[in-house]
Amino acid sequence: SGQWINLKEKRKSQIEIQKEENEILSNGSEEPIVNTNRRVSFQLLPENNRRRIPSQRSRRSGIASSLSLVNFIAGDLDDSDEDADNKFEMSLNDLEDWTKYERVRDWLTSLCRLDPRSQIKVFFDECAQAGVSNIEDKGMNVMDLSPILKFFSKAQVFTVWRPTSMEAIRKMMTGDAVGKGLGIKGKSAKVGLLSGYVPFLQIHSDDNDKKKIGTLPKDARIRVFFRTEKSRDAAVVELEKVSIEMIEIVDQAIITIEKEGEVPDEVYEEALTNMKLKMTEPEIILVDDNAPNAMGIDIPERLFWEAFVTRKDITRKEGSPMDTGRLSEPAFQHMNFATTRKPKKYDPKAVVFQYGGHADNDPLCPLTLLMAYEENGRVMPVASDFD
């Protein structure tokens, strides 16, 4: 009756509006043009300049398509069953297309926000607006500025960035790694299983490089984290065995040194060398602060180096999954140790993370050790950064 007639007239009006919008879209498309002042204007582009991509589809047209579903149900009840089924199916397809478009659009927006290149741009855009005075203490937000101040503000910073590898960017975007700060000086891997990450072990040619690492402090300690409690417990069992052997070697060395002049010079010199294994506190401390995401241990540096490096094969064969594409650099190994001992100001605590995936998942494998940050209840490997 009168109610159905009103609904049908409303649907006809909706169809006319949609036809007009479709006619506009067929002749041109709305595309933003961004100028240097960051104002956005729109113009109709000729047909031959249009790029037929979903992002240029009018959102109003998509919404209208979804609304047509409601109008159809309310206004076309007098159609035949076959026509009604066809129209209902077409309306559902339009709604499904619009929904897919919105999901892709939201995903691309979130992907852009996760991109470290975009984050760097946003940060320094704010610096250009607000200046850099006391930025570490006060912080800033470009939204706090009035539109007038934004218009008349002048850039107070100028930066040039050297991008890192796409593999490192991907790891940061997916949350598999975080960017390294200035405190971590080690070089990242360019190829292989660890590509994009920063290996803890920066030496890998032969045993001669092991000897180039100076004597580690007897009271220094280091934190090592594993993916699972099972891996951590297996590592602790092996470390306890090595620790007992180190203590016995040191005790024997002390006895030999006390007999100076009574023993051959070679034996005496060997005893002096073995004193490098002495540890102030040989205790192995379990660290469960980041459980269950990462299970850690706190151990002496000398125990760590003896068990993970000195008694292991550190060779990285060229072309193998453990190849990093880097030269063996003892100097960078010293730098990694310096970072784990004393973190830089404003930097999270640097630790070692056992990545695994090689040598039958040996928990003491030195080739898969990575530099990582421990903060906010999690342990994250670090990736190559932007310079």
Considering only 10-24, 28-42, 139-153, 356-370, which range has the smallest mean pLDDT?
A: 28-42
318 and 357, same domain (yes or no): yes
Threshold 0.75, pTM exceeds: no
Q: Which residue has the higher pLDDT, 44 or 120?
A: 120
109 within a domain of the structure (yes/no): yes
Q: Is residue 159 predicted with pLDDT exceeding 80?
A: no
58 within a domain of the structure (yes/no): yes
Tokens representing residue 268 in the block: 């005496």
127 and 221, same domain (yes or no): no
- CA-CA distance, 251 to 14, in Å (whole number)? 93
Q: Is residue 131 predicted with pLDDT exceeding 80?
A: no
Q: Is residue 4 predicted with pLDDT exceeding 70?
A: no
356 within a domain of the structure (yes/no): yes
Q: Which residue has the higher pLDDT, 49 or 272?
A: 272
Q: Are the beta carbons of 213 and 330 closer than 8 angstroms?
A: yes
Report CA torsion sign: 332, 334, 340, 343. Answer: negative
125 by Cβ neighbours in 10 Å (0-12 / 13-18 / 19+) ranks as: middle
Residue pLDDT, tens place only, 361-379: 799 999 999 999 999 889 9
213 within a domain of the structure (yes/no): yes
195 and 209, same domain (yes or no): yes
pLDDT score for 214:
87
- CA-CA distance, 112 to 123, in Å (whole number)? 14
146 and 77, same domain (yes or no): no
Tokens representing residue 118 in the block: 């975009």
Residue pLDDT, tens place only, 295-333: 999 999 999 999 999 999 999 999 999 999 999 999 999
Q: Is residue 228 predicted with pLDDT exceeding 90?
A: yes
254 within a domain of the structure (yes/no): no
144 within a domain of the structure (yes/no): yes
Domain span at 8: 2-113
DSSP 358: S
175 and 307, same domain (yes or no): yes
- CA-CA distance, 300 to 222, in Å (whole number)? 6
Considering only 66-80, 199-213, 253-267, which range has the smallest mean pLDDT?
A: 66-80
208 and 332, same domain (yes or no): yes
Confidence band of 220 (pLDDT split at 50, 70, 90): very high
Number of domains in the chain: 3
292 and 226, same domain (yes or no): yes
